[in-house]
Amino acid sequence: MIEARDLTKLFSDRKRGLVRAADGISFTCRPGEIFGLLGANGAGKTTTLRLLATLLQPTAGTAIVAGHDIVHEPAKVRANIGFLSGNTALYGKLTAREMVAYFGRLHGMAETDLDARINEIFTALDMHGFAQGRCDRLSTGQKQRVSIARAIVHRPPVMIFDEPTTGLDVITARTIMGFIERCRDDGLTVLFSTHVMSEVERLCHRVAVIHEGRLTAEGTLAELRETTGETALERVFLHLVGVTA
Amino acid sequence: MTAPASAARPPSPILTVFRKECLETFRDLRVLLSVVVSPLLLTPLILLIAAFFGGRKATEQQTQILEIALLGGGTPAALAEFLQTDDTLVFLDFADAEAAEEAIRERRLRAALVFADDDAERFAAGERIRPELLFDASNERSTTAHRRLLALLERFNQDELERRLAEAELPPEWTESVRSRTRNLATEAALGGFILGIILPYLVIMGAAFGGMTSAFDLCAGEKERGTLETLLVSPASRQDIILGKLLTIGLVSLISAFCSVAGLILALEVGLQFLATELQGMIAVSYPALVAVLFLVLPFALMTSALLLLISAVARNQKEAQAYVFPLIAVILLPAMLSFILDAETSSALALAPILNTALAMKQVMAGATDVLFVSLTLFASLAYAAVAMALVVVLFQKERILFRV
């Protein structure tokens, strides 16, 4: 479960002055559902996800992730989340297996458990064929599977996806979408940020729209359509962020 | 059967990061080339080639046939006869000094001695004559001819002085009231260590300071650039553990670099001693216990420079930016390292507090077998303190969101 309570992050910028990257954001994401954060580039999605992943400290407010407070128990929060971003890269000189094992060890997994878990994931994702291949020599699809394996090796109850399909081809993007659905089916809490409407329509139970750091609307897609009186999700989004067609 | 609890226990995050970074670092061809191959193979090779050609040139200069002219009507016969005993000189005839000058400029002649018409008579009368020695300082062979003629004239003067003293029935002591005899108390090892101590600290310091540069920039700025840092920071490992694991890796690479720099130099000396023996007159001797002490002295220094490199790497957005930021650090380290060439090893204890210079001078003392225990101890403590400050600084900086995410 993720429960964001008035999450606020202020930055001081030389050109723009005080920037409210996240401004009092509150929402709840439950186990077994995919919660979408929808917003344009620079709306505050990544900042919100970084706050939840304890990469950034909130200026005000807090969040409870997997039962732990992001301000007071950041290490416990990180131990319970899997984080996958479209910009995530791999360590090129490590093999696929070494890469996943490294993150397993960082999560404090014992070697025997780690070995068994890696074998289980590599079988599930069909990765044994390139397990000993160096990451910088893998195809984009293989790299993405290594990233997924790295994110789930420690069996996290919460998964956070930050625009995970950015820059990927259709086939690899499909793999990622399938993986997100599997996480939901396994009862994980899934938070998913995107600006691609088709992905929202396919995956999300509920959606929060972020615009200029503020949460402008939250609800199921049906609720948002009803609120705005629009049918096409793109028009719903534009309506909610105050852009008239 | 289950494994014992201790075997199943995961290693500390610092060790996990350190092991992974070492694995990646030593798979990096750039690191292997700059840290191991270059100092172990290229540096000795360059030194040997330089020594070989230097030695050959020195021999050539001693045996080179040079064209000389004796001009003017007043050449003392004894002097002409003495100079002609040197097989490496060929005497050419020229009409006058102007013609000889032109020949020297055109490199047909290397040097000329121009005598006044009455020089032979004045020489015979026991007077001092002052022939003019013409040469071209911009020409290497002419300079060699100049040097060789001066040496010959010096020898001739000595012989002539002895002849004149004998003729006047005066003892040699008449012109020289005191002549000392010197006895060098330095052992060959101490003398060799002293000479090695001049160049070795510079090499070790440069090796330790910049050997880890590629790794340092890759481990932090490189992670930012490639987008792996965010993933790493989402793991439960604390930022302090992560940065300490990285720091240990860079420290290890720096130490290996310093070790390879020393090993490369020693290899060059041991293998190429026959070439260098002529040049250095057998004055290089290697004391292995002193070398071990040098590597011990470099430990805190390597930790400090590793922390400084990591600091630059943490602040920079990417590796290119880190390379731009490193230039002031190079200057800051280069200056004291070069100062150690000219500063006396037996120096004020206050200098043991001067970062970098203290390590270089302590190494110089150790190599010369003149270790000042107070100076070396102070150096170790000061270096450890500076390393601790630099490490604390990089740990604090690595917690800053503004630095890590440039927000």
Cα gap A159→B161, rounded to integer Å: 100
Q: State pLDDT tens for residues B367-394.
A: 877 788 899 999 999 999 998 999 899 8
Do B118 and B243 share a structural domain? no
The residues, ordered by sequence, that sit 6+ positions from B62 with a Cβ below 8 Å of its Cβ are B88
In this predicted structure, the answer to whether residue B279 has a pLDDT above a threshold of 60 is: no
Nearest-CA distance B252 → chain A (Å) = 19
Partner-chain contact A94 B20, CB within 8 Å: yes
Among B258, B257, B231, smallest CA distance to B242 is for B231
Do B322 and B213 share a structural domain? yes
Do B359 and B400 share a structural domain? yes
Distances, alpha carbon B323 to alpha carbons A28, A166, B131, B312, B329, in Å: 45, 30, 60, 9, 10
- Over range B296-324, report the average pLDDT: 91
User: What percent of chain B lies above the pLDDT cut of 90?
Assistant: 38
Do B359 and B310 share a structural domain? yes
Phi and psi angles of residue B233, each rounded to the nearest 5 degrees, phi first: -70, -20
Do B275 and B135 share a structural domain? no
In this predicted structure, the answer to whether residue B149 has a pLDDT above a threshold of 60 is: yes
B7 belongs to a structural domain: no
Q: How confident is the model at residue B63 (pLDDT cuts 50, 70, 90)?
A: confident
Instruction: Please provide the DSSP assignment of B180-197 as one string.
Output: --------HHHHHHHHHH
B3 belongs to a structural domain: no
Nearest-5° angle of CA B178, CA B180, CA B181? 150
pTM, two decimals, is 0.80
- Over range B75-90, report the average pLDDT: 91
Nearest residue in chain B measured CA to CA from A80: B236
Do B318 and B280 share a structural domain? yes
Residues A100, B239 contacting (CB under 8 angstroms): no
> For chain B, what is the domain count?
2
User: For residue A185, what pLDDT is reported?
Assistant: 93
Partner-chain contact A56 B27, CB within 8 Å: no
Partner-chain contact A106 B17, CB within 8 Å: yes
Question: Of A105, A107, A143, which to mutate for an interface test with B (greatest number of B Cβ within 10 Å)?
Answer: A105
B180 belongs to a structural domain: no
Nearest residue in chain A measured CA to CA from B10: A110
Among B130, B131, B152, smallest CA distance to B66 is for B152
Nearest-CA distance A241 → chain B (Å) = 24
Instruction: Please provide the DSSP assignment of B91-110 as one string.
Output: E---SSHHHHHHHHHTTS--
SS3 of A21, please? Answer: strand
Question: Of B18, B20, B242, B402, which to mutate for an interface test with A (greatest number of A Cβ within 10 Å)?
Answer: B20
A50 and chain B in contact, CB less than 8 A: yes
User: For residue B283, what pLDDT is reported?
Assistant: 57
The residues, ordered by sequence, that sit 6+ positions from A156 with a Cβ below 8 Å of its Cβ are A66, A79, A80, A81, A82, A188
B318 belongs to a structural domain: yes
Q: Which of B7, B10, B24 faces A105 most closely, judged by CB atoms?
A: B10
Interface residues from chain B to A (CB-CB < 8 Å): 3, 7-11, 13, 16-17, 20, 23-24, 27-28, 226-228, 230-238, 401, 404-405, 407
Partner-chain contact B228 A88, CB within 8 Å: yes
Q: Which among B112, B145, B172 is the end of a domain?
A: B172
The residues, ordered by sequence, that sit 6+ positions from A78 with a Cβ below 8 Å of its Cβ are A53, A54, B234, B235, B236
Do B295 and B379 share a structural domain? yes
Partner-chain contact B230 A87, CB within 8 Å: yes
Partner-chain contact B236 A57, CB within 8 Å: no
Report the CATH number at residue B69.
3.40.1710.10
Q: Which two tokens stand for residue B320?
A: 């290119």
Partner-chain contact B10 A75, CB within 8 Å: no
B54 belongs to a structural domain: no
Q: Which of residues 103-162 of A touch B (CB under 8 A)?
A: 103, 105-113, 150
Among B248, B242, B200, B253, smallest CA distance to B34 is for B253
Among A45, A44, A51, A53, smallest CA distance to A20 is for A44
Q: Which among B122, B142, B172 is the end of a domain?
A: B172
Q: State pLDDT tens for residues B350-363.
A: 888 988 889 988 98
Do B366 and B342 share a structural domain? yes
Dihedral sign, Cα of residue B158, residue B162, residue B168, residue B173: positive
In this predicted structure, the answer to whether residue B280 has a pLDDT above a threshold of 80 is: no
Q: Which of B9, B17, B404 faces A110 most closely, judged by CB atoms?
A: B9
Do B256 and B390 share a structural domain? yes
β-pair partners for A15: none
Partner-chain contact B28 A93, CB within 8 Å: yes
Q: How confident is the model at residue B406 (pLDDT cuts 50, 70, 90)?
A: low
Task: Report CA A221 to chain centroid distance, whole Å.
Answer: 19
B178 belongs to a structural domain: no
In this predicted structure, the answer to whether residue B118 has a pLDDT above a threshold of 70 is: yes
User: For residue A79, what pLDDT is reported?
Assistant: 94
Q: State pLDDT tens for residues B4-54.
A: 444 456 679 999 999 999 999 999 998 899 888 888 888 778 877 877 787
Q: Which residues of chain A have pLDDT under 50?
A: none
Partner-chain contact B401 A57, CB within 8 Å: yes
Partner-chain contact B24 A93, CB within 8 Å: yes
Q: Which of B8, B27, B405 faces A93 most closely, judged by CB atoms?
A: B27
Do B277 and B140 share a structural domain? no
* Interface pTM, i.e. ipTM: 0.90
Q: Which domains does chain A have, with CATH numbers?
A: 1-80+180-245 (3.40.50.300)
Q: Which of residues 153-182 of A touch B (CB under 8 A)?
A: none
Using a CB-CB cut-off of 8 Å, the residues of chain A touching B404 are 55
Partner-chain contact B401 A83, CB within 8 Å: no
User: For residue B3, what pLDDT is reported?
Assistant: 40
Do B232 and B90 share a structural domain? no
Cα gap A55→A76, rounded to integer Å: 13
Instruction: Say which DSSP state A214 is in.
Output: E
Residues A133, A122 contacting (CB under 8 angstroms): no
Task: Report CA A148 to chain centroid distance, whole Å.
Answer: 12
Nearest-CA distance A28 → chain B (Å) = 21
CA dihedral B30, B32, B38, B40 (to 10 degrees): 180
Partner-chain contact A83 B238, CB within 8 Å: no
Q: State pLDDT tens for residues B225-240.
A: 888 998 999 999 999 9
Q: How many CB atoms are closer than 10 A to CB B401?
A: 14
Residue type present at position A180: I
Partner-chain contact B7 A111, CB within 8 Å: yes
User: For residue B207, what pLDDT is reported?
Assistant: 86
User: For residue B285, what pLDDT is reported?
Assistant: 65
Alpha helices in B64-139 (DSSP H): 77-84, 97-105, 119-124
B326 belongs to a structural domain: yes
CA gyration radius for chain A? 18
Do B216 and B153 share a structural domain? no
Q: Which among B119, B146, B172 is the end of a domain?
A: B172
In this predicted structure, the answer to whether residue B300 has a pLDDT above a threshold of 80 is: yes
Q: State pLDDT tens for residues B316-343.
A: 988 999 999 998 888 888 888 888 878 8
Using a CB-CB cut-off of 8 Å, the residues of chain B touching A108 are 10, 236
B179 belongs to a structural domain: no
Nearest residue in chain B measured CA to CA from A92: B24
How many inter-chain contacts (A to B, CB under 8 Å) are there? 82
For residue B109, what are the domain limits? Answer: 61-172
Using a CB-CB cut-off of 8 Å, the residues of chain A touching B234 are 53-55, 78, 81, 83
User: For residue A80, what pLDDT is reported?
Assistant: 95
In this predicted structure, the answer to whether residue B254 has a pLDDT above a threshold of 80 is: yes
Say which residue the tokens 């790295």 belong to.
A150
Cα gap A73→A63, rounded to integer Å: 11
Nearest-CA distance A53 → chain B (Å) = 6
